[in-house]
Structure 1
Amino acid sequence: MADSTGRGGPPAEFTPYFALLEASALVQHGVEAQLRESGDLSFVQFQILAMLSEDAGGTQTMTAIADRLVHSRSGLTYQVQQLEKRGLLTRGPSAEDERSTVVALTGSGTALIQRVLPGHMAVVREILLDALDAGDGAELTRLLEKVRQHMRARPPRSATRARPRG
C-alpha cells in the first residue's frame, strides 16, 4: 500500500493514530514503576482500584469493569483474584442479577489507592501534563472525549460475541 507520497506505508491520515499509540504506551510505561514501588500494583490492578474508588459505594460489576478497562474477562478475573487475595477488594453475586459478579473495594483497598494516588499523579504530571499548557490540555481532553464517545457509541465488548476462527 502506498501513501500519497508514493512511498510504502500507511497514509498520512494515520499519523494521529500512531501518535496516540506511542503516547499511551509511554505514559503507561512511565507510571508502571511508580505503581510497583509504592503499591506493588500492576497498571491494570491500579485501574481496577481507581475505578472502584470513583464509585460512591466502591462497587462495580465485573462486566462494567471489563467494558470500561477494555480488558479480557479472563485477564480481569485473574487481576481481581490477585487483589482479593491481598484483601483489597471482595467479590460476590449481585443482589439484582444472580448472573453478575459485584466487586467491592475494602478499607485496605481504599487506603492503598489513597496512598498510591498522589505519587501516581505526580508522575502523570511530569511525563504528560507538564508538556501542555492549559489550552493544550483542554483541547486534548476535548479531542479524546470526542473519540471516546464515538467508540463507546458502539455496543460494549460484553455484548459482542467473538467470531469463530476458521
Structure 2
Amino acid sequence: MTDESASLDPVELGAYFALIEVGSLLRHAVELQLKEAGGLSYVQFQLLAALGDAPAGSKRMTDLADGVVYSRSGLTHQAGLLESAGLVTRAPSLDDERSVTVTISEAGRALLATVFPGHIDVLKKLFLAPLGPDDVAELARSLTAVRDHMRSTPPRSAAPRRRSGGRPGGGRPAAGDA
C-alpha cells in the first residue's frame, strides 16, 4: 500500500525537475560570467552583493551565512579570500564582541560595478527572455511564497550553535564568527 502524501503528481514532479534544471543551467552561466568578468565565485558574488545592498555596506557574518545559506566555516573561508583581495574588511562587531562584521570596501563596490552589467545580461537573456511581464510577476509571486515558506524554518547556517563541553572557549570557534 502506498501513501499518497509520499508521491508527487506529474505536474508537481515536472515543476520540481524544471526548477532543478533551470537553477543548474542559470547558476552555471552566472558562474562563468562572474569568473570571466571579475574572478569571483558564485558565493563571493552573493556576499559582495549582499554587503553592497546593506545599510553602511556591513553585515554580521552569521547574518551573511543565513542570507546566502552557506556554512559558517565556508563563509569564513570565502570572507578571508575576499579580505585578502581587498574587497572586504572584517572587524569585531560593535554590538557583540563574539561576532565579526564584514564591510564591503571601495574596491569591492568597484568590482560589483564591473560584473553587474554582464550578470544582468545573462539574467535577461537566459532567465527572463522567454517570459512576458505578467509571467515574471507571477513567477516572482510564486517564488516569493515558496521562499518565505522555506525561510519559516531557518537554514542550518542560522541555527543556534551547539555547545560542546570538550572544546576550550565554551564551544565557540577559535577564529571568526561564521
User: CA 1:31–1:155 in 2, change beyond 3 Å: closer, same or farther?
Assistant: closer
Contact 2:69 2:155 in 1 (8 A): no
Q: What amino acid is aligned across from residue 28 of structure 1 in structure 2?
A: R
Deviations 1:123-148 (CA, angstroms, capped at 9, x unpaired): 11111011111011000000000011
Partner of 2:20: 21
Deviations 1:22-75 (CA, angstroms, capped at 9, x unpaired): 111111001111101110000000000001011131001111111011111111
Counterpart-to-counterpart distance in 2, 1:147 and 1:49:
25
Over the residues paired in the alignment, what is the CA RMSD in angstroms? 2.1
Counterpart-to-counterpart distance in 2, 1:121 and 1:128:
10
Q: What amino acid is aligned across from residue 145 of structure 1 in structure 2?
A: T
Partner of 2:109: 110
Q: Give 1:11's match in structure 2, choosing from 8, 11, 17.
A: 8
Counting aligned pairs with the same residue, the percent is 49
Counterpart-to-counterpart distance in 2, 1:156 and 1:29:
23
User: CA 1:121–1:128 in 2, change beyond 3 Å: closer, same or farther?
Assistant: same
Q: Which runs of 4+ in 1 moved over 6 A?
A: 1-4
Contact 1:2 1:11 in 2 (8 A): no
Counterpart-to-counterpart distance in 1, 2:100 and 2:68:
16
Q: CA deviation at 1:159?
A: 2.1
Counterpart-to-counterpart distance in 1, 2:128 and 2:84:
34
Please report the TM-score for the alignment, with normalisation by the length of structure 2: 0.82
Counterpart-to-counterpart distance in 2, 1:81 and 1:30:
25
User: CA 1:3–1:117 in 2, change beyond 3 Å: closer, same or farther?
Assistant: farther
Counterpart-to-counterpart distance in 1, 2:101 and 2:161:
22
Partner of 2:79: 80
Aligned length: 158
Partner of 1:94: 93
Counterpart-to-counterpart distance in 1, 2:102 and 2:62:
10
Structure 2 unmatched ranges of 5 or more = 163-178
Greater RCO (Cα-Cα under 8 Å, separation 6 or more) = 2
Partner of 1:143: 142
Counterpart-to-counterpart distance in 1, 2:114 and 2:2:
51
Contact 1:3 1:11 in 2 (8 A): no
Counterpart-to-counterpart distance in 2, 1:161 and 1:94:
18
Deviations 1:101-156 (CA, angstroms, capped at 9, x unpaired): 10000010011001110111001111101111101100000000001111111235
